[in-house]
Amino acid sequence: MKVWTLHLGLIVVLFAAQFWLSPYHSTNLARIMVLAVFAMGYNLAFGYTGLLSLGHALFFAAGMYGAGLPAQLWGVTAGPALILGILAGGGMAAAVGLLALRTAGVSFMIVTLMFAQAGYLAILYFAAVTGGDEGFTLPAAARSIAGLDLSSDTPRFLAALTLFAVGLLVSLALVRSPFGRSMVAIRENEERSRMLGLNPFTVKLVALVLSGLYAGAAGAAYGILFGYAGASFATIQYSILPMLYVLLGGAGTILGPFLGAALMFALIEVASGVTSAYLFLVGAALVALVLFAPRGILGTIRERWAKWLP
């Protein structure tokens, strides 16, 4: 019971935050929540299933362009565009997984990176449609849903919170389900899980597709809520960011992706105001984390004091 109370309590606190945050910080928190959904998907693949991927930028970009291009070319509105983006992210993950999961370990990481780079180059090559490096802004029709203008502060915040809440609760239910236990079993010992009757390939493929659905949802929402789609979101940076969020917050914990995304965002915000070499400070903080809390913040808390944390 206290597990659900904790997670529902976080959603209530985030809802209340909009009433005392300035528009600038409210927009930043909306951005953090969308990126946290991206990290939740990565956490399902890496934190719970043990799939170290460097290709999640491809799934994020697939969601962004899966929502953005129909909106720009055919005038699709926000609701259908979001659904198309989610399906694009999941479909791309399925296509990549069918090939990449024939490898394992470092080879899997390299293959997913190659797919992501191929996706980035495809966006640049078809610049006449995708906008290439410059990207494109989404039309106003794609940024409204049920009469609400998602380009204004409060509707954008509530939309981001809704996506975050759904992603968080679905993730919590999933990892506590029998399939979630299967994911953890394969992460811990693939051979033994096979002896117990599990099919590692199938479980890992489903986990990767679920991860892609989350990434696609985050990419689509990011494009719709902030009104832009561009090739920069398909670069290697957007494969590394969710990994850093998960490692910082705690791999294999439900709230770790949100905590990691919030802390990393705040760290970059503060460090960039102090020095132009802010990435040096970010790197130093990550090195300290690896040395003193290798399981991440929530992972360390769970290990030492709160073993009930999912």
SS3 for 229? strand
Which residues, 6+ apart, have CB-to-CB distance to 20 below 8 Å?
none
CA distance to 2, 66, 193, 207, 281, per residue, from 60 (Å): 32, 10, 30, 16, 27
Select from 183, 229, 228 the least CA-distant residue to 210: 183
pLDDT of residue 187: 95
pLDDT of residue 206: 98
Put residue 149 in one of left, alpha, beta given phi > 0 → left and psi -120 to 50 → alpha.
Answer: beta
Stretches in the chain below the pLDDT threshold 70 = none
Instruction: Give me the sign of the Cα torsion angle 141, 144, 148, 154.
Output: negative
pLDDT of residue 227: 94
Which residues, 6+ apart, have CB-to-CB distance to 196 below 8 Å?
185
pLDDT of residue 255: 96
Are 39 and 261 within 8 A, CB to CB?
yes
State the pTM of this model: 0.96
Share of the chain above pLDDT 90, in %: 81
pLDDT of residue 196: 86
